[in-house]
Amino acid sequence: MKIECIIDGKILSLAINSNKPLLDILTENIDNESILVKCRGNHCGNCVVLLDGEAVLSCLVPAFELRSKTILTFEGFSKTKNYRDIERAYNSTGHKPCQYCYNSKTLLIESIVNRYSITNTLPDISELISEMNIIKCNCLDIHSFKEIIYTTISYRKRRNVRKS
Amino acid sequence: MFESLSSPNIHTPQNLAEYANTITHYPQSSLWAFGSSIMDSENFYPNLNANVEIIYLGLIDELYKFQRNDRAVEFGSMVNLNEMLTSGKSILPQVLIDTLKSIGSFSIRNRISLGGAIANKKFTSALIGTFYILDTQIELRYLKKKRLHNHFFPISKLVEKNGELILPDTSLISRIRISINSYNYQYFVTVDDPCLATSNAVSLAFICNLEQISTTNARLAITYPNKGFFSSRDTDMLINNLQLPIEPSAQTEIINKILNQIGAEFVLNPIQLDRTTKLLSSLMNNLNYTIFTTTHE
């Protein structure tokens, strides 16, 4: 099956099996090194990517759903200004995910921040707990996670105000 | 690595007429909404015996529609749970909103379609129990004599005695009609994640009208993801016309009677049994608390 999609800003045309999971496409066909695991749908949460700006588990997205979609992996995201906001929030709060889940948690934070930086609201703790449960790594507690997100949102808003 | 394997044929109908055409030619195809529960099965990829025909429903516009009138709200089956929450926030019954919020996180709900949550064969979603007590109707499109027919069925007609949902083969859930009845007491509580801990999770949905100090039109559903859901008229009779507050001895008696009725239909494991007892007890305490706060206002 031939599929055209945008991965990390590059327009790609891939000839792959129609039911191949996005995770396998990224690791085998594109040699993306930012995804470290292959849990094969066991919900470990370490394969998060942004599909049209929303965090998804790449092991649960089949190839045929990728037609004309935009995929952003940590490899591409780490070169953006939005990543700098999150990195600054890690440094200023003093909390940082472990090496194992760093990429996935950063992308998850980006999708939450994206959702809330448009509106003038902040996510509540119950929503953050359920969001955090996607990734099965306990390196960050919920209060540190919340602190990182709130700080990133404030940085993002400040940057957007300056831009406008 | 497995590129030499033959891959399934993907049909992407753009509307229901095209879907009808495809399903008449390939009646054995798998219907694909977001596919999360299909993809996390162990041998989905690579698999030599994979179903060779898949109909992807994501491009059918009719399945994304949302309509409302004075009596009911209708959602297309491809509406995801987040869209349902945002568009139905002010109309949907609180018990349904709580049920929707209890399913996964925002990112997970984005990848769960309403139809997929109902038709999932791996586990019974808490949504089915809630839909049951709200008298929800499901529109099915099914093949009969090589033609596609559609009909609204009350959800009670589609469930077996053990709470398992039965959908005819080659049928497609196209719309869900939720009636807007006003119940002044709605309660939903769930323990554990139904998707990940299917054998231990339990959820309870309850609606009734509180008239002075008694309950009327009470309906209760308890969902066990690995078994089905429990709801019966006998149980509803037990909790109907209850005089509030319920004394502790009466509480124990009612809970034991409900547990006996559940035991007649399901074999529960000790964790589920314990959780059911506690959920029922918390429901009764909440009823007592509500009546206490309303009478002392």
For the cut 60, the answer to whether the pLDDT of residue B170 exceeds it is: yes
pLDDT band for B90, please (50, 70, 90 cuts). Answer: confident
Is B107's CB within 8 Å of A16's CB?
A: no
For the cut 90, the answer to whether the pLDDT of residue A143 exceeds it is: yes
**Burial category of B61 from C-beta neighbours within 10 Å (exposed 0-12, middle 13-18, buried 19 and up):** exposed
- Is the CB of residue B56 less than 8 Å away from at least one CB of chain A? yes
Instruction: Provide, as residue numbers in chain A, all residues whose Cβ is less than 8 Å from the Cβ of B195.
Output: 43
For the cut 70, the answer to whether the pLDDT of residue B163 exceeds it is: no
Residue of B nearest to A64 (CA): B10
For the cut 80, the answer to whether the pLDDT of residue B45 exceeds it is: no
pLDDT, average across residues B65-79 = 91
B140 secondary structure, DSSP code: E
Those of residues 67-106 in A touching chain B at CB distance below 8 A are none
In degrees rounded to 5, what are phi and psi of residue B228? 140, -160
Is A56's CB within 8 Å of B42's CB?
A: no
Neighbours of A121 (CB within 10 A): 9
| pLDDT given for residue A85 in this prediction | 93
Nearest neighbour of B105 by CB, restricted to A18, A60, A133 = A133
| pLDDT given for residue B42 in this prediction | 66
β-bridge mates for residue B138, sequence order: B153, B176
pLDDT band for B283, please (50, 70, 90 cuts). Answer: very high
Instruction: Express each pLDDT in B34-44 by its tens digit.
Output: 877 777 766 66
| pLDDT given for residue A46 in this prediction | 87
**Distance between CA B209 and CA B186 in Å, rounded?**
9
For the cut 70, the answer to whether the pLDDT of residue A37 exceeds it is: yes
- Is the CB of residue B5 less than 8 Å away from at least one CB of chain A? yes
Name the minimum distance, in Å, from the CA of B61 to any CA of chain A: 16
- Is the CB of residue B196 less than 8 Å away from at least one CB of chain A? yes
Do B162 and B123 contact (CB within 8 A), yes or no?
no
Q: What's the residue count for chain B?
A: 297
- Is the CB of residue A60 less than 8 Å away from at least one CB of chain B? yes
> Which two structure tokens, joined as six digits, stand for A90?
């890690």
Instruction: Give the CA distances from residue B13 to residues A64, B16, B66, in Å, rounded to whole numbers and listed in that order.
Output: 13, 7, 20
Query: Can you say whether residue A43 is alpha, beta or left, with left for phi > 0 and alpha for psi between -120 and 50 degrees?
Result: left
**Choice among A28-37, B4-13, B275-284 with the minimum mean pLDDT:** B4-13
Q: Which of B36, B39, B51, B86 to mutate to test the interface with A (most CBs of A within 10 A)?
A: B39
Torsion of CA B122, B127, B130, B133, to 10 degrees: -60
Those of residues 2-21 in A touching chain B at CB distance below 8 A are 16-21
DSSP for B211-259? ETTEEEEEEEEEEETTTEEE--HHHHHHHTTPBSSPPHHHHHHHHHHHH
Name the minimum distance, in Å, from the CA of A30 to any CA of chain B: 12
Is B41's CB within 8 Å of A41's CB?
A: yes
Q: State the count of interchain CB pairs (< 8 A) between A and B.
A: 81
For the cut 90, the answer to whether the pLDDT of residue A67 exceeds it is: no
β-bridge mates for residue B185, sequence order: B208
Farthest CA pair distance, chain A: 47
Q: Which of B199, B182, B212, B191 has its CA nearest to residue B280?
A: B191
Is B7's CB within 8 Å of A130's CB?
A: no
H or E element at residue B56: strand B53-56
Instruction: Provide, as residue numbers in chain A, all residues whose Cβ is less than 8 Å from the Cβ of B40.
Output: 40-43, 59-60
> Which two structure tokens, joined as six digits, stand for A88?
């600054």
- Is the CB of residue A28 less than 8 Å away from at least one CB of chain B? yes
Give the position of tokens 């007592």. Answer: B288
Instruction: Express each pLDDT in B231-262 by its tens digit.
Output: 888 999 999 888 888 999 999 999 999 999 99
Give B186 or B167, the one with higher predicted confidence. Answer: B186
pLDDT, average across residues A130-141 = 88
**Distance between CA A106 and CA B236 in Å, rounded?**
48
Name the minimum distance, in Å, from the CA of B116 to any CA of chain A: 14
For the cut 80, the answer to whether the pLDDT of residue B6 exceeds it is: no
pLDDT, average across residues B156-175 = 80
For the cut 70, the answer to whether the pLDDT of residue B46 exceeds it is: no
| pLDDT given for residue A41 in this prediction | 64
Q: What's the residue count for chain A?
A: 164
Task: Record the pTM.
Answer: 0.89
Cα angle, residue B185 at apex, residues B179 and B189 outer, rounded to 5°: 90
| pLDDT given for residue B69 in this prediction | 86
pLDDT, average across residues B195-200 = 81
Instruction: Provide, as residue numbers in chain A, all residues whose Cβ is less than 8 Å from the Cβ of B50.
Output: 19
**Distance between CA B205 and CA B236 in Å, rounded?**
12
Cis peptide, bond prior to residue B46, ω within 30 of zero? yes
For the cut 90, the answer to whether the pLDDT of residue A106 exceeds it is: yes
Q: Which of B145, B215, B165, B156 has its CA nearest to residue B186?
A: B215
Nearest neighbour of B105 by CB, restricted to A16, A59, A131 = A131
Return the SS3 of A157: helix
Instruction: Express each pLDDT in A108-129 by its tens digit.
Output: 999 999 988 777 788 889 889 8
For the cut 80, the answer to whether the pLDDT of residue B151 exceeds it is: yes
| pLDDT given for residue B60 in this prediction | 92
**Distance between CA A105 and CA B161 in Å, rounded?**
44
B156 secondary structure, DSSP code: G
pLDDT band for A45, please (50, 70, 90 cuts). Answer: confident
- Is the CB of residue B106 less than 8 Å away from at least one CB of chain A? yes
Q: Which of A1, A14, A16, A18 to mutate to test the interface with B (most CBs of B within 10 A)?
A: A18
State what percent of residues in chain B have pLDDT above 70: 93
Give the position of tokens 């008229």. Answer: B233
Do B36 and B81 contact (CB within 8 A), yes or no?
no
Instruction: Provide, as residue numbers in chain B, all residues whose Cβ is less than 8 Å from the Cβ of A21.
Output: 39, 44-45
> Which two structure tokens, joined as six digits, stand for B233?
């008229």
| pLDDT given for residue A84 in this prediction | 94
- Is the CB of residue B197 less than 8 Å away from at least one CB of chain A? no
